[in-house]
A and B are shown apart, each in its own frame.
Chain A
């Protein structure tokens, strides 16, 4: 009887600990950066970053449900080369003046383990929306040790063909396959 009570107590405590993070979160732009990589003329893998990202997450680790809504400012692309960045913002690539944001909105979230999720959703680049799958790993929730605020963080990655979104400039020299790796941190609302 005593051991049953201990198990029950343990279950209730763990349930409430997890449920404490079953909420909506706002992405921390200072700790959320999408990095992209693409083949350059067959010689190397070129990497770059988007400096401004925002969005909302909902996550319920107990019920294994959630949603992801990420917005990336296309003009914030950075490859450590001013003229190349300007070219990447132009209509040859991202057309950032006309399509200022790149968005990902989830439609289905599947927990594959306690710390990994497969997120299926719609990726929109230059006004073209295509389905994409975001692989989320290393989900960790807890209190930030410095400001004590509850937060969650994870790593994520996806890949797609840029030509599917109408980004055909420089093909096939500049690779078609584009990979994006995210580091995401979000504070509980």
Chain B
């Protein structure tokens, strides 16, 4: 059994899927808004399987894992205590930008010339973009879960094909966990995802930017993934059953993923493994 946990498919596919299913099952009737925290807990489970409980030296990857734990607390706090949406969003935006700078700071310091500022400005913008757009759909469980599903698989896919299997696995774990949650959205009519959008948006965008900074992921792969939370707002016919609407929405949000994978696949044509 322990041996199984060494397989990447189990670490970033099976384990997060099961964690998400269990958490969603526990909370779906009593506290439906909490059902989605399984996605972040699934990410943390995969991260601990890959990284262990060692956090020193504090590398960028370990900072992202710590951020995952912190973001869940911040999301809960902001939902509970910040009723004014402007203040809440402003706080989340500032924290998102600071988290990105914290993760890449040592590398940024070593960069020279305009590249440093491009990476800093581009990265902060990318993370804030996801924070704002995912926040705009946080009360629509179907749109936000489908977005996280596509962002997780997309970021993970481009990372694996173009740069780093580690970041690929971490991102895919979020996609797998969001996939499990999507089943509850489609078949149990789970409606609210307020705790999901902020941590998941920041984590997937941090993982994408970290792959760019630490592992040379081509920047255009992230540009192609960026429209996902915007496209998720495309209306699907309300007359259709929920599971068909969820399926249609997944197909729509996966379009940028396919484009991003093709863009990275064109650059890299031979396997190093």
Contacts and interface: CB of A to CB of B under 8 A. Distances in A.
A98 interface: yes
Given A83-B272, A90-B166, A127-B59, A166 B54 contact: yes
A58 to B, nearest CB: 29
Interface in A13-55: none
A86 interface: yes
A90 B57 contact: no
Given A81-B272, A98-B106, A91 B57 contact: no
Contacts of B268: 83
Contacts of A90: 163-164, 166, 214-216
Interface in B106-130: 106-107, 110
A97 B107 contact: yes
A92 interface: yes
A86 B59 contact: no
A110 B112 CA distance: 42
Nearest to B269: A83
Given A97-B107, A98-B59, A100-B110, A91 B215 contact: yes
Contacts of A87: 163-165, 272
A84 interface: yes
Given A91-B167, A169-B166, A126 B59 contact: yes
A158 to B, nearest CB: 22
A81 B57 CA distance: 29
A106 interface: no
B60 interface: yes
Given A83-B272, A84-B272, A86-B163, A127 B215 contact: no
Q: How large is the interface on B (under 10, 10 to 19, 20 to 34, 35 or more residues)?
A: 20 to 34
Contacts of A151: none
B166 A92 contact: yes
Contacts of B164: 87, 90-92
B213 A91 contact: no
Nearest to A129: B57
A89 B272 CA distance: 12
B214 A98 contact: yes
A83 to B, nearest CB: 5
A128 B62 CA distance: 14
B253 to A, nearest CB: 27
B61 interface: yes
Interface in A80-110: 81, 83-84, 86-87, 89-92, 95, 97-100
Contacts of A86: 163, 215-216, 272
Interface string B40-82: 0000000000000010010111000000000000000000000
B266 interface: no
A169 B215 CA distance: 15
A91 B272 contact: no
A86 B106 CA distance: 20
21 contacts: A81-B270, A83-B270, A83-B271, A83-B272, A86-B215, A90-B215, A90-B216, A91-B164, A91-B166, A91-B215, A92-B166, A97-B107, A97-B214, A98-B59, A98-B60, A98-B214, A126-B59, A127-B59, A166-B54, A169-B165, A169-B166
Given A91-B167, A92-B166, 10 more contacts: A81-B270, A81-B272, A83-B270, A83-B271, A83-B272, A86-B216, A87-B272, A90-B216, A95-B214, A98-B106
